[in-house]
Amino acid sequence: MAQIVKNTAFSPYVTGPLLLLLAGAPASIRDPVLLRIPIKYHATIIKSLKWLFALGLLRKANRVLSDWADNKWLWNDDKSVWDWKKEVAVITGGSNGIGAKVVRNLVAKGIKVAVVDVEPLSDELRGWANISYFHCDITSRDAVHKAAEEIRAALGPPSILINNAGVGIASNILDATPEGLRKIFDINLISQWYTVQEFLPDMLAKKKGHIMTTASMAAFVGIAGTANYCCTKAGLLAFYESLNQELKHRYNCPQIKTSIVFPGWTRTRLTSSIEPDLKAAGEPPLMSPQTVADAMARQILAAKSGQIILGPKGAPVLRGLPSWMQERARDKTAEHVKVNASSAVS
């Protein structure tokens, strides 16, 4: 309800006509409306509408400019080049959880999907004609190349790459092991070099493609007990930004779409052990994996680039706040992940 009120109050399509009615319409139209409002409030209401209209226009202009920037300064974009029944999507970590639900959403639109994972397909994905499974350890460059060759041979060059695979192991910094660090960085971050190196060249040749990255709200804030995870997710944001720059300025191919998704705390098997701690810390109920998957699929099907923030909208501006405000915000997360919890965050 609060969101509906906010969107209405700041919509120039609502405040503009109201302002025109109360301040600019002929008396025969305006007066019957004003008679229903006490005279002492007339000036205040009209002044408030002027401010809301101006702020709404600024908000709308900001959204248009942001969309323009997200789409690499392209005003005109030929979406007709996307024929979903002919597209091939690759999704890492697509056998279970959020990834499996994204697969279902894409297949429902006729897209052929190659699931790349070390785990076999979950029951919800078995038996679908447009789902192909390729066993692959994405931490191995050779294994990614082998799987990519098999995908191209079986389905053709993919036009959509969704880097969704991720793990998280709760650990204090002093307790982190070399093996654990290598595992989380290889899966969450380094593997994205391997998959992009395999599938981007075909996209460049066709000047068409979409690369999506599943990050986390942890990209914006360091949380006690998850320094390893937060570092990989912050690294994904840097990877996404650098990829955008290279597509524009190195490969002269702004037509290729890029998206990065920032889910909040999401209910998956990876968060099951820390859910009680989150509840005790006063966090709202965990987000549904289907909610995240729906947002990801919508972005792919819209054929648009952008950043999709599914947690608190103000999180990206945290680092622009004064240090004392930043640290107060981080302090509130101190008990979210216990050091003895062997699990991951969203």
Catalytic residues, by residue number, are 229, 233
Which residues on adjacent β-strands are paired with residue 258?
211
- Residue 206 and residue 140: Cα distance in Å, rounded? 27
Q: Distance between CA atoms of 329 and 223, rounded to whole angstroms?
A: 10
Among 257, 256, 262, 208, smallest CA distance to 234 is for: 262
| Residue 88 dihedral angles phi and psi, to the nearest 5° | -120, 125
d(CA 39, CA 264): 47
Q: Identify any residues that bridge with 116 across adjacent strands, giving them in sequence order.
A: 92, 134
Phi and psi for 38 in degrees, rounded to 5?
-55, 140
Q: How far apart are CA 309 and CA 122, in angstroms?
A: 27
Q: Which three-class secondary structure string do you get for 5-67?
A: HHHHHCCHHHHHHHHHHHHCCCHHHHHHHHCCCCHHHHHHHHHHHHHHHHHHHHHHHHHHHHH
CB 248 within 8 A of CB 296: no
CB neighbours (10 Å) of residue 34?
17
Is there a contact between 131 and 111 (Cβ–Cβ < 8 Å)? no
Token couple for 8: 């209405």
Distance CA 223, CA 15 (A): 41
